[in-house]
Amino acid sequence: MKIIRNILIIAVALLLQSTLFGSVTIAGIRPDMAMLALLLLATWSGPVEGILYGFFIGFIQDVYSPENLGSNALTMALLAYLLDVVKERLTVEQYPVKAAVSIGACLLHDIAYLSLYTRFDGPLMTGMFFPESLLGAVYTTALFIGLIAVFQWIRDGGFFYVLEGLFRDR
Amino acid sequence: MRRVVYFLGAYKRSVTLLFALFLSMSLYLMGDGQKEHIARTVTTAIFNTGRFTFSWAISLGDLWRENRRLRLQNLEYAYEIQTNRLASSENEHLRRMLGFREKYPHEIIPALVIGQDVDRAVNALIVDRGSRDGVKKYMAVVTDEGLVGRVFEVYPTASSVQIIRDTNSRISVMIEGERAVMGIVRWEGGTNLRMYTLEQQSDYTPGQRVYTTGLGGTYPEGLLIGEIVIPPQGELRVYDSVEVRPAVDFSRAHEVFILSGSEQSDIWDDNDGDGYFQRPELQ
């Protein structure tokens, strides 16, 4: 059941990436929905599943640009592994820590991906990294924190409190 | 082997990472042609999976549209069948008329039964043809099944037909067979008619048909009255009688044919009660 849920999350994230968030931008910056899906799945899954999901998400992204096939798969798998290491070493319960981890993951992904994409062309990579990657990391992190908060609120029963309040006799 | 399993279990995260990295690097280092091929294969697989997953919804939509189309088609066919039935009925009617024309030398006036006579003393039908259509009193009225009766009242646009199942009706008839047995048919109540004959101990059999003789001039010769349903009891009597079931179901006679040129009467009335029977005037 979890697998279906996780595959659905990946599918929705990639669909949103290629449709809604492809045109809705803030100052020309788009959030990385694939990264967002990876952050969520890495938070909820174990180490092996996280790496496999990372590889899978990256691979699907690669399929859309086959000239760089494998680069996203590699960086996402690596990132899933690092996220699991961080999760093991640090307590990432608090929102600031989550945000820091998210920003770090986004930047690391972009560095690794752009390195492979530009074939380690430093100036080109720097030009592509600033400012898109930095702002994109903030945008993605904001969405990630928001989503986590919503999920947490639902899990804590907040949603049902609201429903109960709506239907309570006055 | 056990060591390998233990190693894989203990370092599963690292092993998985290595496996993913190896796979990714392999993909990355592939030639452009191979990359294209893999990408196309995966894309096709994803699209096929999506299509298969959501095909039920697409099928449901198609099914709904097809159902709607078939319903409309069904309505069209139902209308077509109804039209064909009407045409078939009309065709049958025309065939019957054609058959009648060949069978009888008289001119045929087709008519529709539009009601029963309100006079309960007379068993009669009202038809939608009258003097304007050339209908005259005492014309024989038939259906394709047999004799119905004769016209006894004529109005400009309608006529009243006295059916043979009426107390005032007397018809000269004969039973089919090698030796024609002649007699008179009248109605004495009930659903059947009764035929009286001077012949005694005649060998009637049920199902034998009874026809008009044409004697007396009221009805043309050869019109079917009905068939014998009860054979005689074999008693020695002056008059022998037999029941005749009318060939025509009068309650279902909707279309009739009036035989023009058959307007004579063998019923002589004693209207003034002077003991002399007079032949009615022809109109």
Give yes or no for residue B276 having a pLDDT over 90.
no
Span B256-280, average pLDDT: 61
Question: Nearest CA to CA, how far is A55 from chain B (Å)?
Answer: 6
Give yes or no for residue B236 having a pLDDT over 70.
no
Phi-psi region for residue B190, left (φ > 0), alpha (ψ -120 to 50) or beta?
left
Span B188-208, average pLDDT: 77
B123: pLDDT confidence band, cut at 50, 70 and 90?
confident
Which chain B residue lies closest to A72 (C-alpha atoms)? Answer: B24
pLDDT for residue B266: 47
DSSP string, A98-122: HHHHHHHHHHHHHHHHHHHHTTS-H
pLDDT for residue B11: 84
> CB distance A71–B24 less than 8 Å?
yes
- Comparing C-alpha atoms, which of B153, B146, B88, B140 is closest to residue B109? B140
Question: Nearest CA to CA, how far is A161 from chain B (Å)?
Answer: 35
Instruction: Give the alpha-carbon dihedral of A43, A46, A50, A51, to 10 degrees.
Output: 140
Beta carbons of B138 and B263 less than 8 angstroms apart: yes
Report chain A residues whose CB lies below 8 A from the CB of B12: 47-48
> CB distance A69–B30 less than 8 Å?
yes
Residue B17 at interface with chain A, using a CB cutoff of 8 Å: yes
CA atoms A78, A82, A84, A85: torsion sign: positive
- Give the total residue count for chain A: 170
Q: Which residue has the higher pLDDT, B237 or B69?
A: B69
Which chain B residue lies closest to A71 (C-alpha atoms)? Answer: B28
CATH of the domain at A117: 1.10.1760
Q: Which residue has the higher pLDDT, A28 or A148?
A: A148
Q: Where are the domains of chain B?
A: 2-58, 109-283
pLDDT for residue A135: 86
Span B121-133, average pLDDT: 84
Q: How far apart, in whole angstroms, are the C-alpha atoms of residue B111 and residue B127?
A: 6
Distances (CA, A) of B148 to A64, B161, B193, B226: 90, 8, 13, 10
- Comparing C-alpha atoms, which of B146, B105, B106, B112 is closest to residue B130? B112
Q: Which of A44-53, B54-63, B123-132, B170-179 has the lowest mean pLDDT?
A: B54-63
Residue B24 at interface with chain A, using a CB cutoff of 8 Å: yes
pLDDT digits (tens, 9 = 90+) for A107-131: 998 888 888 888 888 888 888 787 7
Say how many domains are in chain A.
1
B235: pLDDT confidence band, cut at 50, 70 and 90?
low
pLDDT digits (tens, 9 = 90+) for A44-98: 888 899 999 999 999 988 887 788 888 899 999 999 999 888 888 877 778 888 8
ipTM confidence:
0.80
Which chain A residue lies closest to B46 (C-alpha atoms)? Answer: A60
Average pLDDT, chain A: 84
Q: Which of residues 99-128 of B touch A (CB under 8 A)?
A: none
Report chain A residues whose CB lies below 8 A from the CB of B17: 51, 77-78, 81
> CB distance B16–A47 less than 8 Å?
yes
B100: pLDDT confidence band, cut at 50, 70 and 90?
low
Question: Nearest CA to CA, how far is A151 from chain B (Å)?
Answer: 27
Q: Which residue has the higher pLDDT, A79 or B277?
A: A79
pLDDT for residue B254: 82
Q: How far apart, in whole angstroms, are the C-alpha atoms of residue A119 and residue B279?
A: 129
Count chain A–chain B contacts defined by CB atoms under 8 A.
74
Give yes or no for residue B193 having a pLDDT over 80.
yes
Give yes or no for residue B269 having a pLDDT over 60.
no
Q: How far apart, in whole angstroms, are the C-alpha atoms of residue B12 and residue A84?
A: 13
DSSP string, B119-151: -TTS-EEEES--GGGT--TT-EEE-SSSEEEEE
pLDDT digits (tens, 9 = 90+) for B103-118: 666 788 888 888 876 5
CATH 2.40.10.340 matches B109-283: yes
The tally of CA atoms less than 13 A away on the side-chain side of residue B240 is: 18
Span B13-17, average pLDDT: 88
pLDDT digits (tens, 9 = 90+) for B135-149: 988 899 988 888 999
Q: How far apart, in whole angstroms, are the C-alpha atoms of residue A166 and residue A160?
A: 10
Average pLDDT, chain B: 80
Which ranges of chain B would DSSP assign to H, the alpha helix?
2-10, 12-28, 32-103
pLDDT digits (tens, 9 = 90+) for B28-45: 888 888 888 888 888 888
pLDDT for residue B148: 92
B206 sits in which H/E element: none
In percent, the amount of chain B with pLDDT more than 70 equals: 80
Domain ranges, residue A152: 2-167
Span B53-60, average pLDDT: 73
